[in-house]
Amino acid sequence: MPAVREIEAAGYRSLKTIRFPVGPLSVFVGGNATGKTNLYRALGLLQTAASGRLTRALAAEGGMESVLWAGTRRKGEPARLRLSAELADETTGHAYTYAVEVGLVSQVGGAIYGAAFALEPQVKSERLTVQAGARPVTVLDRDGPAGFVRDEEGRKRSFGTDLLPTETALAALQDGVRFPELQIVRQAMEAWRFYHDVRTDAGSPLRRPCLAVTTPTLASDGADLAAVFATLAHIRGDTVDLDAAFADAFPGARLVVPQPDREARFGVIFAEYPKRIFEPSELSDGTLRYLALAGALLAYRLPPFLALNEPETSLHPDLMEPLARMIVQASKRTQVWLVTHSERLAAAVAEAGGVRPRLVLKRDGATWIDGLRLAGNFSQDEEDE
């Protein structure tokens, strides 16, 4: 699948306008209220554009009044949120750039324009360009309800369906044969996986058995963790990396994954109690969270893009180095995006992976990345360090 090469976001919360490159392993570190999580959320919103849930996701965040850039705008400048991603396929050499703009409901003479509720976010424009040669070709161009899409033979076509102002054309035009470029980009973005809301409280699904179904990739909420472990142990037949990562964090401890029946289960044997298996319901929040991260980073099949937001939550500081080693190991199989408060974790990832953590800061009230140029790249001195 195409890999993420560049991200752009404008008009979203603390992101006034920012564009930056993305590599195999991206690490962002900074204090509270600098906007690190907004960078992460912007990626998630791009994914919802591909799945058709963009305007719903914005409504769930509090609506356009909450998500729009709160700073000053130029006179006459519309209140818009813009998101863009550039993807590159190393196999074909093709590059794909998808951009979407969302704004407030249009009103004409006090009446709402289009099929939408008064406070709903509306898709104002979309564009997908593909570069396979010297010049990029626009394969999707939408301005409000009007626009075109190119078919498999390169001919311009009308959308062929009445798009609602709250729908994205990327999600609505599902014919992968007629519109192969849309299918490629949509599938790539829908396969991204975000891990930020994995619960470890007493009612967490991680603490219960799950259905015994072959599960190569951990769900975003971690609910199928036991099945991920069982897939590694009994389908792939290889838990070497998983066992090593667990022993790295908890010396002398051992992860136990029995052959599943209708349900998959796991437990832990600690060095102090070699004859007792501790069930997930008995594990500490930190131990369970580390296991969930191991399931995300060491699964049988990793998503093409894996994002972690503050994975250090609930973990003991001594687990930062083992976690960093898992993150770096995963980045050899997929793209990994890490947002963290922990300078210790960022430093450990830098040491293990040879990457430079990027400091997120506020500049004139807007989120920025230290060393980032306005052109959307990092200075040569920064890259050479």
Q: In which band, very low, low, confident or very high, does the pLDDT at 376 lie, cut at 50, 70 and 90? A: confident
Q: Which residue has the higher pLDDT, 196 or 117?
A: 196
Residues 234 and 155 in one domain: no
Domain for residue 339, yes or no?
yes
Residues 212 and 344 in one domain: yes
Residues 198 and 277 in one domain: yes
CA distances from 377 to 189, 216, 361 (A): 23, 35, 16
Q: In which band, very low, low, confident or very high, does the pLDDT at 114 lie, cut at 50, 70 and 90? A: low
Domain for residue 94, yes or no?
yes
Give the residue among 18, 66, 23, 64 at the shortest CA–CA distance from 42.
18
Of 141, 176, 191, the domain-final residue: 191
Whole-number average pLDDT of the chain: 92
Of 191, 218, 246, the domain-final residue: 191
CA distance 7 to 26: 12
Residue 382 has pLDDT above 60, yes or no: no
pLDDT score of 384: 47
Alpha helix (H) residue ranges in the chain? 36-51, 54-60, 64-67, 169-172, 180-190, 225-230, 240-249, 285-297, 320-330, 343-353, 380-384
Residues 198 and 328 in one domain: yes
Q: Render pLDDT for 159-196 as a digit per residue (tens, 0 to 9).
A: 877 788 899 999 999 999 999 999 999 999 999 999 99
Q: Coil, helix or strand for 382?
A: helix
Domain for residue 374, yes or no?
no
Give the single-character DSSP code of 222. Answer: -
Q: In which band, very low, low, confident or very high, does the pLDDT at 115 lie, cut at 50, 70 and 90? A: low
Residues 129 and 150 in one domain: yes
Residues 144 and 237 in one domain: no
Q: In which band, very low, low, confident or very high, does the pLDDT at 292 lie, cut at 50, 70 and 90? A: very high
Q: Coil, helix or strand for 187?
A: helix
Residue 342 has pLDDT above 80, yes or no: yes
Q: What are phi and psi of 327, to 5 degrees?
A: -60, -45
Q: In which band, very low, low, confident or very high, does the pLDDT at 324 lie, cut at 50, 70 and 90? A: very high
Give the number of domains in the chain.
Answer: 2
Residue 288 has pLDDT above 90, yes or no: yes
Residue 102 has pLDDT above 70, yes or no: yes
Give the residue among 4, 24, 27, 6 at the shortest CA–CA distance from 360.
27
User: Please, which contacts does 142-151 make with residues 24 or more away whose CB atoms are closer than 8 Å?
Assistant: 142/169, 144/114, 145/114, 149/173, 149/179, 149/182, 150/179, 150/181, 151/178, 151/179
Domain for residue 380, yes or no?
no
Range of the domain at 53: 3-22+39-191
Residues 179 and 225 in one domain: no
Domain for residue 9, yes or no?
yes
Domain for residue 365, yes or no?
no
Domain for residue 34, yes or no?
no
Compute the average pLDDT of residues 36-41. Answer: 94
Q: Coil, helix or strand for 169?
A: helix
Residues 14 and 154 in one domain: yes
Q: Render pLDDT for 78-90 as a digit per residue (tens, 0 to 9).
A: 889 999 999 999 9
Look at phi and psi of residue 194 and say left if phi exceeds 0, alpha if psi is from -120 to 50, else beta.
beta
Residues 14 and 155 in one domain: yes
CATH number at residue 211: 3.40.50.300
Burial class (CB in 10 A: 0-12, 13-18, 19+), 6: middle
Compute the average pLDDT of residues 281-294. Answer: 96
CA distance 62 to 72: 20
Residues 182 and 79 in one domain: yes
Q: At what angle are helices 240-249 and 320-330 packed, to 10 degrees?
A: 160
Compute the average pLDDT of residues 37-42. Answer: 94
Residue 116 has pLDDT above 70, yes or no: no
pLDDT score of 99: 98
User: Which token pair is 360?
Assistant: 């997120």
Residue 118 has pLDDT above 70, yes or no: no
Residues 251 and 134 in one domain: no
Instruction: Look up the pTM and report it.
Output: 0.91
Residues 64 and 209 in one domain: no
Domain for residue 372, yes or no?
no
